[in-house]
Structure 1
Amino acid sequence: MFETFFKNYTFQSPLMNASGVHCMTIEELDEMADSKAGTFVTKSVTRQKRQGNPEPRYYGTPLGSINSMGLPNLGFDYYLDYVSKRQKTVSQPIFFSVASMSMEENIETLKKLEDSDFQGFTELNLSCPNVAGKPQVAYDFDLTENILTEVFSFFTKPLGVKLPPYFDIAHFDQMATILNQFPLAFVNSINSVGNGLIIDPEKEQVVIKPKEGFGGIGGQYIKPVALANVRVFYTRLNPSIQIIGTGGIVSGQDAFEHLLCGASMLQIGTQLYKEGTSVFARILAELEVIMKAKGYTNIEQFRGKLKTIEE
């Protein structure tokens, strides 16, 4: 019922983690592998081990979360060693996330990945909103085009990009025009909504320490924005570029809506952080109830078939 076709592979479920959640250590990655997720993505890597921003840097709320993690990770070699060993025994491809501190470092990391034995999917994060002093690359359209031109001059393995949310139709059109120039495997939309602010009214202060309390907003707050971005790129990108939907997936209903908008895979971040890997089994069970009630026996029967209101 949940078989998902992504490029040349069939996954048993469309669900996976969002990079940054439950993927820091080998232990967490193994727990992802043993869950009901179809596959998983590594922590976004930098060249060397990185501590990230000072604590507290994550805060959960009833409707989602705010975070300013600052790319904490155990370094490129740690994750490459893990995925290289795992792919020798498991045929299901893994996603490897790259989001370094500079584009020069990203290029260097991708060249190492190109020369390695890694056979999965690479996710190039162009949208990290939580590194102090670093703007989001994907809001600079010329820079994004230049980076992708350089990347695809040497990178031959399946690669996709993780994008921030866009809010204007003109920007949707501009970015789609740029992305359609390249042999991307996928687009992941969206990353957290950058530079939100959550306040503790009792203490009369912000709830996270980095960036004077500003951070990326995730969870239910951002689902309408995520659905809009998924739908826009599904209808504007070349059919060969598949969509990973991310943002506000808490229930089977949320997953159904992302799929209806055209997503092929779904990443879960905030709710996975709150609930642990059991979230995947629960959401799939809820999705199954919805699909059976509607008479759907597989995802492809409704994926991308969102209706508009006609006259």
Structure 2
Amino acid sequence: MADLTTQFLELPLKNPLMNASGVWCSVASQLEALAESAAGAMVSKSCTLQPRDGNPEPRYRVINGERTFGSINSMGLPNEGFAYYLRYAQRHDYEQKPLFMSISGLTLDDNLTMVDSLKDAVIPALLEVNLSCPNVPGKSQIGYDFDAMDTLLAEVSSGYQRPFGVKLPPYFDMAHFDEAAEILNRYPLVAFVTCINSIGNALVIDIDSETTLIKPKDGFGGLGGDYVLPTALANVNAFYRRCPEKTIIGCGGVKSGTEAFLHLLAGATLVQIGTSLYEEGPGIFPRVLDELAAIMDDKGYKTIADFRGKLKTIA
């Protein structure tokens, strides 16, 4: 049987799977279910300084096509507020599995306040700063404003003074890959990069009712599932190539061992599951792990290191 153990920033993990932030991690009972699941690591809901109700319902819908499976959402960052997730992080059993704590302040000051509080808490939670929240009305994504992104990373690096990571939106232009990577590489404390958040401002229409599937933002929302896999793989590989000193976490379109394998092959060290976890629950982890192990066995790979990041290109 293939060995699925791996390392993340020198932390030994039982396997490379975890949830995507925002899925099965909004309240303590969900986080506890993740802690008891087969996932190798877990991340909390991206939180704001104060609690938020988020956008009006319906704000999430699964999309089941003949051959495709995905989702559209415009959640609006519903969460219990930073203090809630900090309390959970303070009682989490880190020997059981690592916990990433994701923050997404609505202002720079909010982010820095949360960073300072997490630093003062002196707990081994791994900080992720979410630079991509595409579904908050009136708020642009920091990941698409390179000056704001540079400023935020400088401030967090200075204030936090320990390794942290960022979650990025999807990029679609080689020049944007280059510019974002150049900014990330300025900051040695940016230790990991999560690629990607959902593809923002998609529109899905129900042909029978001739209406949008979700209510917020006139039906515009973030796309997930099968529809984002190629874009996610491109971003994982682009930043794997451009940021050799940073660890990449892949997210987008994972529903089986096949997609998990592809993310690892493209350069990811950890692989997050979002839409499929939302629909299937934490029982998805052992299934995907079994499928990943079977693929590795078929290919003769004994460990993840045998193939991670070794994507071949056509000469």
* TM-score, length basis structure 2: 0.96
Report the equivalent of 1:162.
167
CA–CA separation in structure 1 for the residues paired with 2:96 and 2:30 = 19
- Select the residue among 266, 273, 291 that pairs with 1:268: 273
Asked if the contact 1:95/1:123 (under 8 Å) is kept, the reply is yes
Asked if the contact 2:129/2:167 (under 8 Å) is kept, the reply is yes
Give the Å deviation of 1:51: 0.7
- The CA deviation string for residues 142-201 of structure 1, in whole angstroms up to 9 with x for no partner, is 111111111111112331000000001111011111100112110000000000001111
Q: Give yes or no for the alignment of 1:308 onto 2:313.
A: yes
What is the count of residue pairs matched by the alignment? 308
Report the equivalent of 1:286.
291
Give the Å deviation of 1:102: 1.9
Change (3 A) 1:251 1:91: closer
Report the equivalent of 1:246.
251
Give the Å deviation of 1:91: 5.6
Give the Å deviation of 1:108: 1.3
Look up the equivalent residue of 2:176 and give its one-letter code.
H
Give the Å deviation of 1:93: 2.3
CA–CA separation in structure 2 for the residues paired with 1:106 and 1:113 = 11
Report the equivalent of 2:44.
42
Report the equivalent of 2:19.
17
- State how 1:1-311 maps to structure 2 within 5 Å: 1-62=3-64, 63-87=69-93, 90=95, 92-183=97-188, 184-239=190-245, 241-310=246-315
Asked if the contact 2:35/2:96 (under 8 Å) is kept, the reply is no
CA–CA separation in structure 2 for the residues paired with 1:27 and 1:158 = 28
Specify the SS of the correspondent of 2:62.
strand
- The CA deviation string for residues 102-124 of structure 1, in whole angstroms up to 9 with x for no partner, is 22211111111111122121110
Asked if the contact 1:120/1:158 (under 8 Å) is kept, the reply is no
Specify the SS of the correspondent of 1:176.
helix
CA–CA separation in structure 2 for the residues paired with 1:142 and 1:201 = 41
CA–CA separation in structure 2 for the residues paired with 1:251 and 1:91 = 24
Asked if the contact 1:80/1:118 (under 8 Å) is kept, the reply is no
Asked if the contact 2:132/2:143 (under 8 Å) is kept, the reply is yes
Specify the SS of the correspondent of 2:302.
coil
Percent of counterpart pairs with the same letter? 53
Asked if the contact 2:42/2:97 (under 8 Å) is kept, the reply is no
CA–CA separation in structure 2 for the residues paired with 1:147 and 1:75 = 20
Specify the SS of the correspondent of 1:167.
coil
Asked if the contact 2:112/2:159 (under 8 Å) is kept, the reply is no
Look up the equivalent residue of 1:191 and give its one-letter code.
N
CA–CA separation in structure 1 for the residues paired with 2:235 and 2:221 = 20
Task: Give the unaligned 5+ runs of structure 1.
Answer: none
- The CA deviation string for residues 186-235 of structure 1, in whole angstroms up to 9 with x for no partner, is 00000000000011111111011110100000001000000000000001
Look up the equivalent residue of 2:313 and give its one-letter code.
T
Specify the SS of the correspondent of 1:52.
coil
Asked if the contact 1:121/1:157 (under 8 Å) is kept, the reply is no
CA–CA separation in structure 2 for the residues paired with 1:288 and 1:231 = 22
Look up the equivalent residue of 2:173 and give its one-letter code.
D
CA–CA separation in structure 2 for the residues paired with 1:93 and 1:65 = 28
Look up the equivalent residue of 1:77 and give its one-letter code.
A
CA–CA separation in structure 1 for the residues paired with 2:171 and 2:119 = 30
CA–CA separation in structure 2 for the residues paired with 1:266 and 1:173 = 23
CA–CA separation in structure 2 for the residues paired with 1:28 and 1:157 = 28
Asked if the contact 1:138/1:144 (under 8 Å) is kept, the reply is yes
Asked if the contact 2:35/2:97 (under 8 Å) is kept, the reply is no
